[in-house]
Amino acid sequence: EVQLVESGGGLVQPGGSLRLSCAASGFTFSSYWMHWVRQAPGKGLVWVSRIKNDGSDTNYADSVKGRFTISRDNAKNTLYLQMSSLRAEDTAVYYCIRVRGYNGFDSWGQGTLVTVSS
């Protein structure tokens, strides 16, 4: 069974940093591109970032470019999202997602809540 388990969310002050982790199991993690998508409370889904299966290529939404860094450790079957210079508008549930093809997000974690507030 495919499982994605996020961790690392919490309350952080504006301007602060946080690192999210996503532990993957039940599939060959190193074969899949992975994404992060977020959802602000009561709002819709917003794409955040993507990383190729071997980590050689990454991409970001304009709203997080230069502040967030996606990475992965295929030996540990773990995906990361390093977030810095956090703003109130970054407050959201962050989902770790496995993708099939270009945007078939076929497996989602349970999400981890990041709250940016003073």
Partner 1 sequence: QSALTQPPSASGSPGQSVTISCTGTSSDVGGYDYVSWYQQHPGKAPKLMIYEVNKRPSGVPDRFSGSKSGNTASLTVSGLQTEDEADYYCSSYAGYNTEVVFGGGTKLTVL
Residues of the shown chain interacting with partner 1 in the complex, contacts defined by CB under 8 A:
35, 37, 44-47, 50, 59, 61, 95, 100-106, 108-111
CB of 64 to partner 1, least distance (A): 12
Comparison of 66 and 101: residue with beta carbon closer to partner 1: 101
Closest CA to 63 of 36, 96, 30: 36
* Angle, alpha carbons 60-1-57 (nearest 5°): 20
Comparison of 17 and 59: residue with beta carbon closer to partner 1: 59
CB of 69 to partner 1, least distance (A): 16
CB of 15 to partner 1, least distance (A): 26
Comparison of 33 and 78: residue with beta carbon closer to partner 1: 33
How far apart, in whole angstroms, are the C-alpha atoms of residue 48 and residue 3?
A: 20
Provide CB contacts within 8 A for 34, sequence distance 6+.
22, 24, 50, 51, 53, 70, 72, 79, 96, 97, 98, 99
CB of 16 to partner 1, least distance (A): 26
